[in-house]
Amino acid sequence: MSNEDSPNERRDFLRKSLTLIPVVTLAGASLASPLSAQESSAKHDANKPAAPASHYEPSYFTAEEWTFLHAAVARLIPTDERGPGAIEAGVPEYIDRQMGTSYANGSLWYMQGPFNANAAPEFGYQLKLSPKEVYRLGIAAADNWCHQQHGKLFAQLDAATQDAALKQFESGKVAFEQLPAKTFFTQLLQNTKEGFFCDPMHGGNKNMVGWKLINFPGARADFMDWVERDERYPFPPVSIRGERA
């Protein structure tokens, strides 16, 4: 989120960058997390049919955290004239469902010390916090910072102020007490993109709105004859379960 980012520019970025992602990645559990469908099913029953977003009750996030999550992802991928955003796609549900998996517990990572929050990026993740802990501590710190700066929680701010706050978190200029603000923002953005483009079986990408945005065919058995054509793919996407948009 640069200073010039607008909702339309964010959508253009998503469309241009994600059309190059391999088919198996978009049709799978997530864009870049190590979560697999088998782990998701075993740990959190994440492979059961997703409940409608309006009826979904979070199993990990508190009511206050759930409110923040909705407000934040709605700014990262907003609803606009081009189509539904993160809320309609069920991104909050996707993120909550992942919080019961091995991925969210950090079980798939090397989590032994020493820890160095100031290490160079090439050394990879250097905190002792699991994704679940990043969310719990990060949401509390973000709301506390917003309250100190504006007298309101993040979800109570207007859209422009929310965008400005997210940019502050992204830049790392804000000092959270228990983790870097940039680490929290990176986790949130990554999982938001995953929830927008995952297969619907994982709780996000409802009605395959993310796939329709980038004209991705989903889990269709055969579409390779269209790959090198300079034409728009004419058929709607299909989920792993065979659901059609």
pLDDT digits (tens, 9 = 90+) for 145-202: 999 999 999 999 999 999 999 999 999 899 999 999 999 999 999 999 999 999 999 9
pLDDT above 70 (res 28)? no
- Percentage, residues of the chain above pLDDT 70: 78
- What is the DSSP code string of 84-109? --TTTTTHHHHHHHHTTSHHHHTTTS
The DSSP letter of residue 113 is S
Phi (first) and psi of residue 100, to 5 degrees: -105, 15
Q: Are 18 and 26 in contact (CB under 8 A)?
A: yes
Q: Are 46 and 100 in contact (CB under 8 A)?
A: yes
* Torsion sign across C-alpha atoms 133, 135, 138, 140: negative
Flag whether the pTM goes above 0.85. Answer: no
d(Cα 31, Cα 215) in Å, to the nearest integer? 16
